[in-house]
Amino acid sequence: METTNGIKSWAPDDRPREKLNSKGPGALSDSELLAILLGSGNRQESAVSLARRILASVENDLVSLGRIDLNALKKFKGMGDVKSLTLIAALELGRRRRSTEARELPVIGHSKGAYEHFLPHIGDLAHEEFWVMNLTRRNHVISVHKVSEGGISYTAVDPKKVFGIALENKSSSIIVAHNHPSGNTQPSDEDLKLTRRLVNAGKNLELPVLDHLIVTSTGYYSFADEGTLEQA
């Protein structure tokens, strides 16, 4: 039920659905797009107002919205299971679309391409994960695999597992990556030590580590680009 100040009392061009129909999705604000997913608000506010409050709770950051869970959504008046699960499903579809786009990159020729490939997997996570990308001699992506999962600032990595996955996938070379949920792209001392161990192990196995990326939702650090891969 909308109040007298709800969406139904607005001018047609200001209503999210009508605006989407007449002007296209690019004309809508984040809160208007979110309101369409919600469908309705509550007795005190419209769907747009509710959407604005939800976005404000994550400082209007869509990356943070992508991490929101069911219990957090249900704390908002008017957000029951159906609306909350609908929103979570929509956010997951967005992540999968990004993952599909990454899979369409058949060859990794630079660090940005590797970053775009890893981003859908670990860019939005609130905890650290370590992944390995397996490549052919011509840098075609064979597969990407999660190696380990940890806490908000650390994940343990066993080089034997990294290269075990690479050998199982008949890789000619690998690129490894882990995320920093803090958003800080700079490597820690532990990151430097791990990179050194992986590079040395790769040389012994004749399975080179081409790069190690530190991934965040807004950018990345490439050991290869920064000239620190061999120096780590």
Q: What is the end-to-end Cα distance of the chain in Å, rounded?
A: 61
CB atoms within 10 A of CB 50: 23
Segment 169-195 shows an average pLDDT of: 96
Segment 138-151 shows an average pLDDT of: 94
Q: What is the structure's pLDDT at 230?
A: 78
Task: Identify the CA nearest to 106 among candidates 131, 138, 130.
Answer: 138
Highest mean pLDDT of the ranges 33-37, 42-46, 129-133, 140-144: 129-133
Strand-by-strand arrangement of the 129-135 sheet: 141-149, 129-135, 173-179, 209-215, 220-222
**What residue type is 153 in one-letter code?**
S
Domain residue extents for the chain? 7-99, 107-222
Per the DSSP assignment, residues forming a β-bridge with 212 are 176
Segment 148-175 shows an average pLDDT of: 95
3-state secondary structure at position 130: strand
Distance of CA 105 to the CA centre of its chain: 17
Q: What is the structure's pLDDT at 2?
A: 42
Tokens representing residue 6 in the block: 């709800």
Segment 23-30 shows an average pLDDT of: 89
99-119 pLDDT per residue, tens:
665 555 468 989 999 999 999
Q: What is the structure's pLDDT at 12?
A: 47
Task: Identify the CA nearest to 79 among candidates 51, 105, 119.
Answer: 51
Give the architecture (CATH level 2) of 107-222: 3-Layer(aba) Sandwich (3.40)
